[in-house]
Chains A and B, each alone.
Chain A
Amino acid sequence: MEPEESISKLLRLKRYEKPRPDYFEDFLAEFQLRQRAEVIHRPFWNIAWDRFSSLFAPIPVPRLVTASSFAAAVIAAGVTLNWSGNEAGVTPATWNLSSPAQTRLGSTQIAFPPTKKRVSSVQYVLPTRPTGYASAHSF
């Protein structure tokens, strides 16, 4: 027998190395479990991106176009926010790091309410009867 043929014959023996018979049934079940776990633990941005991409799914739009339109939308949103800040008369030159947060944010709507109000709005309600180890039932 030729050496080449002998090698091939020996290697063919490895075809008989198989997992246990019920392995593949369990494999599918394990795969489904892992898939579900992956969906639960996926980061928010990943899910958001998938949903955004699915909007374009019926149209054969290349992935690059989808990505660039998403990037364009993000940039446009950023520019719009920045422009509205300038509209309110707040320019980067009018504030620095020591300025109050309200000024830096550039919008009175985003500003936090005064601290005193927030403190005074907190109320603690105490139970009318003190908690103890004695039985709560009274006859």
Chain B
Amino acid sequence: MRYLPSSPVEDQALLDAIGVPDAEALLRGIPEPLRLRRELELPLQSSEQEVAGQMLAMANRNTRFCAQFLGAGAYDHFVPSAIDALISRQEWFTAYTPYQPEISQGTLQHLFEYQTLICDLTGLEVTNASLYDGGTSCVEAALMAVRVAKKRHTVLVSRGLHPLYRDVLRTNFAPHAELNLVEVGLKGGVTDLADLTAKLNGDVAAVLVGYPNFLGAVEDLAALAGPIHAAGALLVSVTQEAFAFGWLEAPGRVDADMACGEAMSLGNKPNFGGPFLGFLAGKDAHKRELPGRVVGQAKDLQDRTGYVLTLTAREQHIRRDKATSNICSNQGLVTLRANIFMQLAGPEGLKGLAAQNAAKAQYLRQRLLELPEMEAVDDQPFFNEFVLRYRGDYDFLEAACLQESLLPGLDLGRYYAEYQGCILWCATELHSRSMIDSLVATLARVPATV
């Protein structure tokens, strides 16, 4: 086995030093009846060549596309070559959580820079070293808001939030009989202000709103903040497409108290949904209620600046069952990808890429609307995703697209009964004009019936 240091001579020397005849003798601490008295019924070891072939065959059994017009929480963007090159350095990808700061300054300084940039993108004051993904970031944001609000037990969630984020919220709220999770309806593709106002009361700790929401619509956070703040609740902005931060004003600058969501777009591929990058930012006054790892500045004995894991009194290894969360990891390497991406892009790159995403999505929408089967819905401002009603059969449309190696938008009826027959389309900087034109040409040929 190539990964194991094993030679009969050396093994014997170790066993002799320990004073046992063989390795099995060291298992004496495991009671005999609890031992496995057979070999595992699994294939035997294989060479690197064989395993590489097996894994490549598996990867090849996924269908590849010339273009994907599907977003819905996982976005296909260009990834600069520097990212894979840098994260492949063993100092980055093999290192552990930076518990020993003097030997982990690389990871710690990176995370301090990453935190700075997440605060910059969201327009808020504090953040942590990341969370698992968009869905779990909503859970942590909601629970943090409940801690901050004190003695309020209800969290309102806009129906415009990603349906799978809402599923993750439901799972995590289920064990807490004392907490309520209540949905706020949509009107015209955005959070229904009348329904929101009706549901706001003195027990509401926070309201979670998509920005942009799952349907691609830009919610007017500033307008929602008024009644939410008047009721004493916190406004939590949830962004599932981080590129939107180059197009839309930072949530913290339009009255959001917290911002959370998914930042996989910064330097990652769709990767079948993970590893992704959850983030959560808030106000300075709430920093001691943050979940997870937080990096802060420190001085060493010679007054030189360095970085350490800090505010650990919130965490599980100190507080145990009183911790702000059970999380004890972060998405380390994914934060590194995001940090490298943001530093390469800079302010002009991020704004420029966002403008290109908006332009491509607008062009896609305009071209699709030339087809007689497509019809505008809701007509809200959008970033790089939007909904159209389709008068034909989605299955035929999908089949026609796949034949041309195109992955169409999402059949929205699977998630929203009221959007039966609607499709959620996405375009990014990766979609060339000719790809979009060929999608439209393909759709023009879709038969109306069998």
| A and B found bound together | no
Residues in B lying within 8 Å of A, measured CB to CB = none
Residues in A lying within 8 Å of B, measured CB to CB = none
